[in-house]
Amino acid sequence: METVADTATCAAQRRTTRPRADALRNRERIVTAAREMFVEFGPDVPLDEVARRAGVGNATLYRNFPDRAALIHEVVLAVTSRTTDRVEEAVAAESDPFAALSRFVHAAADERIGALCPMLSGGFDTDHPELLTERRRLEEAVEGLVERAMSAGRLRTDIAVGDVLVALSQLTRPLPGIACPDIDRFTHRHLQLFLDGLETPARSELPGSAATLEDLRAGR
């Protein structure tokens, strides 16, 4: 039988765990709001505006993220991780390897992966261990998609995973100074044109050489 002391202990435990759950929700809301506003206005958007959109006070934002660099770090980490999850979902949903690649490319656009590029400048630590781990996890997952589609004879053989990642980054990056409410519609149209160009048989000879992960990492 539960005693009064047991009841008091349980109540105390609930009081202890509830703020942690609330704090976690607040942190997630801040990251979500920051991701949206960085896409819309760039990484220099005022942090008090991020807090307002997240529905939290400035003190809550700064308690979780003491400065802009810490918030950008978390947003980049979250977007990269979520994009990798989209690879796994595409593989599970599509039996055709090229259809899985196509599904992933459109899903990555919805994750706003192209918006990461303006954030990775200045004093941002792109070599942080957490980010390196997530980036490599994403690269390896996309590399698996490309290899399966190529092995199935569905993907042209004169490209490499770097071509896919670079094109995805460029075609999903918001254009500065453009107020276009339907930009997503154009993004997905242009991504589909790109995907059509990846299918076999190849309709043209590509200039240059295929971009590998090693090329991207070396900055070539």
State the pLDDT at residue 181.
52
Asked if 31 and 75 count as a contact pair (C-beta separation under 8 A), the reply is yes
> Region 21-44: what's the mean pLDDT?
89
Mean pLDDT of the chain, nearest integer: 85
Q: Using 50, 70 and 90 to split pLDDT, how confident is the model at 25?
A: very high
How long, in residues, is the chain?
A: 220
pLDDT surpasses 80 at 198 = yes
- Give the whole-angstrom CA distance, residue 220 versus residue 211: 9
Looking at residue 112, what is its pLDDT?
81
Q: What is the pLDDT of residues 162-193, one digit of tens each?
A: 999 989 888 887 665 554 455 667 888 889 99
CATH number belonging to the domain at 20-66, selected among 1.10.10.60, 1.10.645.10, 1.20.120.10, 1.10.240.10: 1.10.10.60
CATH of 78-219, one of 2.10.109.10, 1.10.357.10, 1.10.3720.10, 2.160.10.10: 1.10.357.10
- Answer for the pair 162, 213: CB distance below 8 angstroms, yes or no: yes
- pLDDT of the residue at 34: 93
Q: Which of 6-10, 62-66, 82-86 has the lowest mean pLDDT?
A: 6-10
Average pLDDT over residues 25-45: 89
Q: How far apart are the C-alpha atoms of 89 and 193, rounded to whole Å? A: 22
User: In the predicted model, is pLDDT for residue 123 greater than 80?
Assistant: no
**Res. 13: pLDDT tops 60:** no
pTM: 0.79
Reported confidence tier of residue 59, pLDDT bands at 50, 70, 90: very high
Whole-angstrom distance, CA of residue 38 vs CA of residue 44? 8
Q: How far is CA 203 from CA 43, 165, 199, in A?
A: 39, 21, 9
For the chain, what percent of residues have pLDDT higher than 90? Answer: 53
Tokens for 115? 């918006």
- Give the residue, 106 or 22, on which the prediction is more confident: 106
Please report, for the chain, the start and end positions of each structural domain, with discontinuous segments joined by +: 20-66, 78-219
> Measuring CA to CA, how many Å separate 85 from each of 43, 75, 98, 134, 215?
24, 15, 17, 11, 24
Q: If pLDDT is split at 50, 70 and 90, which confidence band does 220 have? A: low
137: Cβ contacts below 8 Å, ≥ 6 apart: 80, 81, 84
